[in-house]
Amino acid sequence: MNQHYKQKHIYVGVDLHKATHTAVIVNCWYEKLGEIQFENKPAAFEELLTYVKKLCKRGMTPIYGLEDVGGYGRSLAVFLVENKQKVKEVNSALSFAERKSYPTTQKSDSWDAECVAKILVSKLEILPDANPQDIYWTIGQLVARRNALIKAHTALKNQLHMQLSHHYPSYKKFFSDIDGKCTLEFWHTYPAPHHLKGASLEDLREMLLKSSHNTCSTKKAEEIMALVAADGETKREYQESRDFLIQSHVRDIRFKKEEVQKVEDQLCRMMKKLGFQLETMPGIDLVTASALVAEIGDIHRFSCPDKLALFAGIAPVKFSSGGKGKEQKSKQGNRTLHGIFYNLAVQQVQVSKGSKLPRNPAFLAYYERKQEEGKTKGQALVCIMRRLVNIIYGMMKNKTPYIAPPLAEQVA
């Protein structure tokens, strides 16, 4: 009698931590074969291979399951792949559900690793292969760095808003944005109204012209002077320290903006090495394209668009009982990737306020057709997301540009 393919493997679940990892090995019947703890450094990984090899009977091969192949588990994942081992990426939501499925919930490194191993056995067909290539990991790190800078930049802007409200009550009428190049130069030069008392209208005009590349006129200088005069006296005790705070915020904001630009330059260089043409699609810029690549990784680890949709939590899940039920959207999968596809779907159906022209007529027509079929706006957006998965999958796998459907098909 032929063996079931799952009987030809042993399953190694690894619980990953900063200092040490714990691995539990089970067979296809969920029987625990062994356990080992080892340090999180390449020199100790060979110990894991040796231990697992001893548990492998003739003709059997090990399969490793790791939850985090981009953080603490990256070094191990790279080591295993380089040593020709089969490695699967186990979604943390699956192992969490496995732990919660028992009458008595327990938590330990050993049990966590065993739960990962059991997921390997039960979900082997749907788990994506771990493929921790350096280029995808590096892009992911750059995207994370940019996100952190943007978050810090936003916090600084909010703090600057608060400080300026005490110094310049009418500051929002000065400029269209609070952190433009010309705006920041003004805040740094004149952190409070009393600094303007020794400056003439011509001094202010020259500063604005120089920092705005001659776009701010004398009229802008006059408007600011008039608004400051109308606000009244705002100078208080310890004004020097308060002025320092404004200038400190400005310096920090300038630094964050410069660093964001440097990170984006690096992202541009890295993305060019991959040769994708994702930015040819409406709504996808460098930032969105790099975020997609960072979350998806090597597209070839997904054998079809359905696997990618499942990974992103876009594929619907059917809930039924007694012959009745309906499909609902999944709340599992990679939520970051799900959010990227959601935002992209919203952009596809947007209509310009001025020209009233749709950004992507084909998707807007599809969106409206789904609503006519009885779907809600939210359900129609999920349909858009699912179609986007197919398109993005094809564009990444074949490195082709986006081609909008012909007008005749759009009308149809």
pLDDT per residue over 106-115, tens digit each?
A: 889 999 999 9
* Four-way CATH pick for 137-271: 3.30.390, 2.40.128, 1.10.287, 1.10.3470: 1.10.287
At 320 the pLDDT is 62
Which residue in 403, 406, 370, 407 sits closest to 385, CA to CA? 370
Round the CA-based radius of gyration of the chain to a whole number and report it.
28
Contacts 24+ apart (CB under 8 A), 358-365: 359/282, 359/283, 360/282, 360/283, 360/404, 361/404, 361/407, 361/410, 362/404, 362/405, 362/409, 362/410, 363/387, 365/410, 365/411
Task: Map residue 366 onto helix, strand or coil.
Answer: helix
At 410 the pLDDT is 45
Q: How far apart are CA 251 and CA 391, in angstroms?
A: 43
At 4 the pLDDT is 87
CB 406 within 8 A of CB 362: no
Which residue in 129, 143, 141 sits closest to 311, CA to CA? 129
Is the model's pTM score more than 0.85? Answer: no
At 134 the pLDDT is 86
Written as six digits, the tokens of 125 are 């067909």
Neighbour count for residue 312 (Cβ, 10 Å): 27
Amino acid occupying residue 180: G
CATH number of the domain located at residue range(s) 5-132 in this protein: 3.30.420.10
Residue 316 has pLDDT above 80, yes or no: no
Q: How far apart are CA 162 and CA 233, in angstroms?
A: 18
CATH 3.30.420.10 residue spans of the chain:
5-132
CB 182 within 8 A of CB 206: no
Written as six digits, the tokens of 286 are 């460098």
CATH 1.10.287 residue spans of the chain:
137-271
| Helix intervals (H) in 83-171 | 92-100, 109-122, 134-167
Residues 201-241 pLDDT 10s: 999 999 999 998 888 778 999 999 999 999 999 999 999 99
Q: Provide the pLDDT confidence category of residue 79 given band limits of 50, 70 and 90.
A: very high
Number of H helices, E strands in the chain: 15, 7
